[in-house]
Amino acid sequence: MKVLIVYAHPEPKSFNGAMRDLAVSVLEGKGHTVQVSDLYAMKFKAVPDQKDFIKLGNPDYFKLGLEQQYAQKHDIYTEDIKTEQQKLLWANFVLFQFPVNWFSMPALLKGWVDRIFGLGFVYGGGKWYDTGGLKGRKAMLSMTTGGPASFYGSRGRNGDMELLLWPIQNGILKFAGFDVLPPFVAWGVAHVSEEQRKKYLEEFRQRLLTLDSTPPLFFHPSGDYDENFVLRKGIEPGTRFQSIQ
The tens digit of pLDDT for each residue in 99-130 reads 999 999 999 999 999 999 999 999 999 999 99
CATH code, domain with 167: 3.40.50.360
Query: In the prediction, which pLDDT does 242 show?
Result: 41
Residue 225, domain member (yes or no): no
Residue 84 has what pLDDT?
A: 98
**pLDDT (tens digit per residue) in 143-174:** 999 998 899 988 899 889 999 999 999 999 99
Domain span at residue 64? 2-214
pLDDT of residue 154: 84
Count of the separate structural domains present in the chain: 1
Residue 81 lies in a domain: yes
**Confidence (pLDDT) at 234:** 87
Quick check: is 160 in a domain?
A: yes
Q: What is the pLDDT of residue 109?
A: 98
Asked if the structure places residue 51 within a domain, the reply is: yes
Secondary structure of the chain in the HEC alphabet? CEEEEEECCCCCCCHHHHHHHHHHHHHHHCCCEEEEEECCCCCCCCCCCHHHECCCCCCCCCCHHHHHHHHHHHCCECHHHHHHHHHHHHCCEEEEEEECECCECCHHHHHHHHHHCCECCCEECCECHHHCCCCCCEEEEEEECCCCHHHHCCCCCCCCHHHHCHHHHHHHHHCCCCEECCCEEECCHHHCCHHHHHHHHHHHHHHHHCHHHCCCCCCCCHHHECCCCCECCCCCCCCCCCCCC
Q: Per the domain annotation, does 222 fall within a domain? A: no
- Does a structural domain hold residue 238? no
pLDDT of residue 244: 38
153, part of any domain: yes
The confidence score (pLDDT) of residue 206 equals 97
pTM summary value: 0.94
Q: Which residues of the chain have pLDDT under 50?
A: 239-245
Report if residue 206 sits inside a domain: yes
